[in-house]
Structure 1
Amino acid sequence: MNPEKNNYDIVLFCGGRGTRLSEKTREMPKPLIELGEYPILWHIMKIYAHNNFNKFVLTLGYKGEMIVDYFLNQYNLTQNLCVKLSDIKIPPAKDDWDISFVQTGIESKTAKRLHICREYIKSETFMATYGDGVADINLESLLKRHKILKEKHGIIATITITRPYSKYGIVKLNEDFVDSFREKPQMDEYINVGFMVLEKEIFDYINEDEDVMFEETLQKIADDGKLGFYIHDGFWHAMDTYKDYEELNEIWKVDPKWKIWND
């Protein structure tokens, strides 16, 4: 593993309300929703840490104090430990992560959140993703693809795309009859699933006085011919709804494809 990778900052969008998952987000921020015994945010960070990316910038918003509390006061208690009651000292967490907790506003949209945490991003090239999606992504290949596109075309952002499976069966009709039926086929169109590599030049496209989604920023970059893509053909799943929450937790029990780490 290339030790240079430690120099890349990873921005994780953690501030949204997650209204489509209100069954859980009434009580906690979406990134803290449990996937197995740990929050989905932890799973995302483990994916990066497995590839030797250990510097994280969390853009906090809705119930952001709960995310801070989890890492400062709860996470280190999930391991086995021994204490002397007359002199209690809680051991440090087993993951050696460098985390910046940045308060980016309760209602801010993602582009504004990214701009607010700009001063905490030290590397000229950095990575970013959403706090609700997991994948068995090859981050080394993603970074290599970005570097090639940057040198060849001058791109300043690379997004990861994949072809999702339809949530519904597709029916083809022939006059009065059903010609064919396909149960939840893979769609032809690609979608952006996060896991982005970005250059600091993207901040030239973000107006600090505007409050817009980062996807609008990406469109501006695409209009200038500076947005690249990386195709991910493996597993990806987001936790958007309660059904997604149930599906991901079932997958975690049976075959967690995104668990690329060993411990």
Structure 2
Amino acid sequence: MDDLKNFLGRESLTVSEAMRQIDGNQHKILFLTDDRQRLIGCVTDGDIRRFLLSGGAMSAPVLAAANRHPKSAKNMTEARALYHRKDYIVIPVIDGDGVIIDLFAGEQDEWQRPRNPLRIPVVINAGGRGTRLDPFTRVLPKPLIPVGELPIIELIMREYQRYACSDFHIIVNYKKELMKAYFADNERQYHISWYDEEQPLGTGGGLSLLKGKLHSTFFFANCDALLTSNYESIVKFHRENGNAITMVCAYKNINIPYGVVEMGPGGVITGMKEKPLMSFLTNTGIYLVEPEVVDDLTDGEAIGFPDIVERQRQKGRRVAVFPVPENDWMDMGQISELEKMRERLYGE
């Protein structure tokens, strides 16, 4: 396991601060302590997601989203028995004063439990020119740019295959023959249906090529975003809420390196914040979509998928956000992000 300190946070943290700390450990959980280091609660990324979806704010105290009665054990033997009794993530071991002295998270590699099969079709939009990755994309289409040992599109496909999602529909345009040739020679067999754009149709218009091909909920993804969240949770949220579209969004946290001043009428200072932390949701380019959304598209219309989302909203259909932690999303759409992605995936 990571160092114990990576799993401990003070009760005074905000939701935003706790989320950043949760992102720093592999089990996505934070145990909250008082000023005497005693265990008083715990919070997971799922707890924070439910709190935010219910209307909670990132600036709220983390205790508002936390479980105030977490399970704990007095020794490792008790922790092991408790861990296997129910589907717990981590069991803290506390001393007689309630101070956390150790954690039990299962035996080696036990935390990597197999994913439940979803068997949902996956549509990947791979037709863009990838201008942000110029000059690399003068030679290769963006989906085939390697990140370590594999091109980004294959990394994305393998993540879906972990959930038994193996029916791939790929929309292509720019350098499409290179794309098809790569998979034709690939030693790992993929079940792929190809859809050729005759002209650029934007991030959403290419879906019109799939009319009549999809008859159930499907994933729709850009070819430059890798998501490591629990896909099963996304599907459950989508179906339980009856969404036409679920947009996966990541919380981004940015420290402004300046003092921020708020000004009122006449130049009066109404507030000041020194190097504030700004939090906002950003679209990852990954969605769950119902087939009737495809049926509504106009053949040959160039349109961005965010505009399709807005049209569905205007029709009165439910469109919603599924928020994920910042570290669950890797974006390789810019050259500066390629090296960061490689380091995260391969630890080099």
TM-score normalised to the size of structure 2?
Answer: 0.59
- Cα distance, 1:249 vs structure 2: 2.0
Aligned equivalents of 2:317 and 2:241: distance in 1? 11
- Which of 316, 329, 336 is 1:243 aligned to? 336
1:110 CA displacement: 2.5
Structure 2 gap segments, 5+ residues each: 1-114, 262-268
1:204-231 alpha-carbon deviations (Å, 9 max, x no partner): 4422252111111011112324202211
Q: How is 1:1-263 mapped onto 2 (pairs within 5 angstroms)? A: 2-3=116-117, 5-6=118-119, 8-73=120-185, 75-76=186-187, 93=188, 96-121=189-214, 123-150=215-242, 155-166=243-254, 169-173=256-260, 180-181=274-275, 185=277, 187-223=278-314, 224-233=316-325, 234-254=327-347
In structure 2, distance between residues paired with 1:179 and 1:126: 44
Question: Alpha-carbon deviation of 1:180?
Answer: 2.8
The answer to whether the Cα contact below 8 Å between 1:57 and 1:120 also exists between their aligned partners in 2 is no
1:22–1:149 Cα change, 3 Å? same
SS at match of 1:240: coil
Distance change >3 Å, CA 16–CA 111, structure 1 → 2 = same
Q: Which has the higher contact order (CA 8 A, sep 6+)?
A: 1
The sequence identity of aligned pairs, in percent, is 25
Cα deviation code 1:2-60 (max 9, x no counterpart): 55x32x21000100001011121111111111010100001100110001111100001
Higher strand share: 2
Distance 1:106 1:202, change over 3 A: same
Conserved? CA contact 2:201–2:300, under 8 Å: no
Q: Counterpart amino acid of 1:203?
A: V
Note the residue ranges of structure 1 that are not aligned, 5 or more in a row. Answer: 77-92, 256-263
Shift of 1:105: 2.8
Q: Is the contact between residue 205 and residue 220 of structure 1 (CA under 8 Å) also seen in structure 2?
A: no
Task: Give, in whole Å, the separation in 2 of the partners of 1:251 and 1:23.
Answer: 24
Q: What is the RMSD computed on CA atoms of the aligned residues?
A: 2.2
**TM-score, scaled relative to structure 1:** 0.77
Of structures 1 and 2, the larger Rg is shown by: 2
Contact 2:247 2:320 in 1 (8 A): yes
